[in-house]
Copies of this chain bind each other. A is one copy, B any other.
Amino acid sequence: METETATRWLTDAEQCAWRTHLDVNRLLTHQLERDLQPFGLTMNDYEILVNLSESEGLRMRMSDLASATLQSKSRLSHQITRMENGNLVRRENCESDRRGLFAVLTEHGLETMQRVAPHHVASVRRHFIDLLPEEALEELHKSLTPVAEHLRNHRGKP
């Protein structure tokens, strides 16, 4: 009985594409992180701020926020604690489900968000968006969407 199947190694083209993809990610993340640093925020902080600022009542349930930002509950919990110490966010009890908590954007959190957003957007443009012709960006989006979907459906499995 044959337990072993010949491996389909990556072709050169595939390998190049893959490595470039990995590199862009790493470099881009570093760069965006660096550009946020002067404002005392990390990309994680920023992402939380964005999510909350776009939500009804500037608040979200911890679980929802965790899955919106693709983090574990534990990690989010620590993250929110840190942001609470920085007075960007506060926790509030949920009346309808007494297990639950909201993360709520504070005034200072909102101001910070509004002050920083333009710089962050500029950074994203400068290091990514504006380097790609419009069709390339659309193409990229079209290609990546099914990948994202696949990965989402596939979470916590073989």
Residues of A within 8 A of B (CB): 7-10, 13-14, 16-18, 20-21, 23-31, 70, 117-118, 121-122, 124-125, 127-129, 131-133, 136-148, 150-152, 154-155
Contacts and interface: CB of A to CB of B under 8 A. Distances in A.
Contacts of A155: 27, 30-31
A147 B121 contact: no
Contacts of A142: 136
Q: Could you say how many copies of this chain the assembly holds?
A: 2
Contacts of A138: 13, 17
B137 A17 contact: yes
Given A18-B129, A140-B140, 7 more contacts: A20-B145, A23-B70, A24-B151, A27-B151, A30-B70, A131-B150, A139-B140
